[in-house]
Amino acid sequence: MKIVSIMAHQDDEMRCLGTMLKCRQRGDELFFLTLTDGSSGVLQEPPLPRKAAARIRTGELKNMARSAGGECFCLGERDAFLFDTPSVRMKLIEAIRKTEADVIFTHYHEDYNEDHMATHRLVRQAAMLASLPLLPTASPALKSHPAIFCVEPHGPIPFPATYFVDITAFELKKIQLLRLHQSQEAAMQKAFKTGFDQLCNRPDAYWGEKSGCAFAEAFVPMAARGAIKPFPVLP
């Protein structure tokens, strides 16, 4: 199967990367797609120009994706200013078709970040349209609507998880890969005095305890027509 992470920013795959690595082990193909250029996420003094920051974030994503055995794409919208527009929809429809997505991971509909919530809404609409031969793009329409799972948001937001994936064997590799987002490790240490290890270990151990293993990732299926399947797709 083709497994696609569609997120607002580089490093947002944090809440599904362990599951994607497990998918890769069973023979699936991995794709990492970001809608924005990540240019507002590099904390430097003085601030970096947008293009320079975007190059850093895109380079880090490419390095992470390659190390995970996958491919990556960036639609290049301005970080912190993501909106649902006709041009963004068409770019996302083409990207989803290009990957031939069978399973999509994306943001939950409630989140602390507006870019995340905009991504959720865009994925909902673009995934449906990607599987219908209504709008022409360079790639053909999908043969069927992909399954879509929403990842846990950061912060005090209720998350009614119903799907759990044991990632105990992949937790260490997951953190090692996320640390390839070096600018974000530095930014989080500077802003919150914490890094990818704690940001992963704590919630993954929480969901692991809930589901009977050491570490797990938790998901909510997107409640959209065609996005929920009557057969298992997660490992």
pLDDT band with cut points at 50, 70 and 90 for residue 45: low
Q: Is 145 exposed, middle or buried (0-12, 13-18, 19+ CB in 10 A)?
A: buried
Listing from the earlier edge strand, what are the strands of the sheet with 103-107? 71-77, 29-36, 2-7, 103-107, 147-151, 216-221, 163-166
Cis peptide before 46 (omega within 30 of 0): yes
Q: Is the pLDDT of residue 193 over 80?
A: yes
Q: How far apart are CA 25 and CA 41, in angstroms?
A: 31
216 occurs within a structural domain: yes
What whole-number percentage of the chain has pLDDT above 70? 100
Are 92 and 35 a contacting pair, CB within 8 Å? Answer: yes
Q: 109-145, pLDDT tens digit by residue?
A: 999 999 999 999 999 999 999 999 999 999 999 999 9
232 falls within a domain:
no
- The confidence band for 47, taking pLDDT boundaries of 50, 70 and 90, is confident
Question: 64 lies in a domain?
Answer: yes
Note down the domain range covering 79.
Answer: 2-221
DSSP state of 39: T
- Overall number of domains in the chain: 1
**Is residue 83 pLDDT above 90, yes or no?**
yes
| Res. 76: pLDDT tops 80 | yes
Residue tagged 């793009």 (tokens) = 137
Confirm whether 234 is domain-assigned.
no
**pLDDT value at position 131?**
97
In a domain, 228, yes or no: no
Q: Return the minimum-mean-pLDDT range out of 101-105, 186-190, 209-213, 214-218.
A: 186-190
Q: What is the pLDDT of residues 163-176, one digit of tens each?
A: 999 999 999 999 99
Residue 148's CATH number: 3.40.50.10320
Q: In the predicted model, what is the mean pLDDT of the chain? A: 96
pTM above 0.85, yes or no: yes
Asked if residue 235 is part of any domain, the answer here is no
